[in-house]
Structure 1
Amino acid sequence: MTSEPAIRELLRLDAAHVWHPYGPMPATVPPLLVEEASGVRLRLADGRELVDGMSSWWAAIHGYRNPVLDAALAEQASRMSHVMFGGLTHEPAIRLATTLVDLTPEGLEHVFLCDSGSVSVEVALKMCLQYWRSLGRRDKVRMLTWRGGYHGDTFHPMSVCDPEGGMHALWRGVLPEQLFVPTPPSGFGTPVDESYVDTLVRAVEEHADELAAVVVEPVVQGAGGMRFHNPAYLRVLREVTREHDVLLVFDEIATGFGRTGALFAADHAGVAPDVLCVGKALTGGYLTMAATLCTRRVADGISRGEVPVLAHGPTFMGNPLAAAVANASLDLLSEGTWRDEVRRVERKLREGLAPAAAVPGVVDVRVLGAIGVLQLDHAVDLAVATEELTSRGVWLRPFRDLIYTMPPYITSDADLELVTEAMVDTAKVA
Structure 2
Amino acid sequence: MMVHPLDPADVQRLDSAHIWHPYAAAGTPALPVESASGVTLALGDGREVIDAMSSWWAVVHGHSHPRLVAAAHRQAETMSHVMFGGLTHRPAVELAQALIEVTDPVLTKVFYSDSGSVAVEVAIKMALQYQRGIGHPERRRLLTWRGGYHGDTFAAMSVCDPEGGMHALWEGTLAQQVFAPAPPARGATPDQITEYVDNMDGLIADDIAALIIEPIVQGAGGMRFHDRALVAAVRELCERKGILFIADEIASGWGRAGKMFATEGLNPDILCVGKALTGGFMTLAATLTTQAVADAIKSPAGGGALMHGPTFMANPLACAVATESVRMLQEGQWRVQVPAIESALLDGLEPLRQREGVADVRVLGAIGVVEMAEPVDMSRTTAAALDHGVWIRPFGRLIYVMPPYICTPEHIATICAAVDAAVGAATKRTENQ
TM tier, smaller? over 0.9
The letter of the residue matching 2:312 is: F
Query: Which stretch shows the higher mean deviation, 382-391 or 196-205?
Result: 196-205
Structure 1 residues 206, 44: closer, same or farther in 2, change over 3 A? closer
Aligned to 1:300: 295
Counterpart selection for 1:284 from 267, 275, 279:
279
Q: How far apart, in 1, do the equivalents of 2:11 and 2:241 lie?
A: 57
Contact 2:178 2:203 in 1 (8 A): no
Counterpart selection for 1:238 from 235, 240, 252:
235
Contact 1:355 1:424 in 2 (8 A): no
- CA apart distance, 1:207: 2.5
Aligned to 1:256: 253
Q: TM-score, normalised by structure 2?
A: 0.95
Secondary structure, aligned partner of 2:7: helix
The letter of the residue matching 2:224 is: R
- CA apart distance, 1:65: 1.3
Counterpart selection for 2:267 from 264, 272, 289:
272
The answer on 1:343 being equivalent to 2:345 is: no
Counterpart selection for 1:371 from 351, 367, 376:
367
Aligned to 1:178: 177
Contact 2:53 2:392 in 1 (8 A): yes
Q: How far apart, in 1, do the equivalents of 2:362 and 2:321 lie?
A: 32
Aligned to 1:127: 126
CA RMSD of aligned residues (A): 1.3
Q: Following superposition of structure 1 onto structure 2, how do residues 28-43 of structure 1 map, counting pairs within 5 Å?
A: 30-43=29-42
Q: How far apart, in 2, do the equivalents of 1:343 and 1:160 lie?
A: 31
Aligned to 1:414: 410
Q: How far apart, in 1, do the equivalents of 2:22 and 2:386 lie?
A: 20
Q: How far apart, in 2, do the equivalents of 1:397 and 1:213 lie?
A: 33
The percent identity for this pair of structures is 52
- CA apart distance, 1:409: 0.1
Per-residue CA deviation, residues 208-243 of structure 1 (Å, 9 max, x unaligned), is: 421100000000000000000011111111111111
Q: Following superposition of structure 1 onto structure 2, how do residues 21-420 of structure 1 map, counting pairs within 5 Å?
A: 21-27=22-28, 30-187=29-186, 190-267=187-264, 270-306=265-301, 307-420=303-416
Q: TM-score, normalised by structure 1?
A: 0.96
- CA apart distance, 1:202: 4.0
| Structure 1 unpaired stretches of 5+ | none
Per-residue CA deviation, residues 143-180 of structure 1 (Å, 9 max, x unaligned), is: 00010000000000100000000011111111111111
Secondary structure, aligned partner of 1:23: coil
Aligned to 1:10: 11
- CA apart distance, 1:305: 2.7
Contact 1:201 1:236 in 2 (8 A): no
Contact 1:135 1:305 in 2 (8 A): no
Per-residue CA deviation, residues 238-265 of structure 1 (Å, 9 max, x unaligned), is: 1111111111000000011100110001
Q: How far apart, in 1, do the equivalents of 2:289 and 2:205 lie?
A: 20
- CA apart distance, 1:364: 0.7
The letter of the residue matching 2:168 is: A
- CA apart distance, 1:196: 4.6
The letter of the residue matching 2:170 is: W
Contact 1:205 1:244 in 2 (8 A): no
Query: Which stretch shows the higher mean deviation, 281-290 or 237-246?
Result: 237-246
Q: How far apart, in 2, do the equivalents of 1:96 and 1:11 lie?
A: 38
Structure 1 residues 393, 206: closer, same or farther in 2, change over 3 A? closer
Contact 2:184 2:196 in 1 (8 A): no
- CA apart distance, 1:59: 0.2
Secondary structure, aligned partner of 1:266: coil
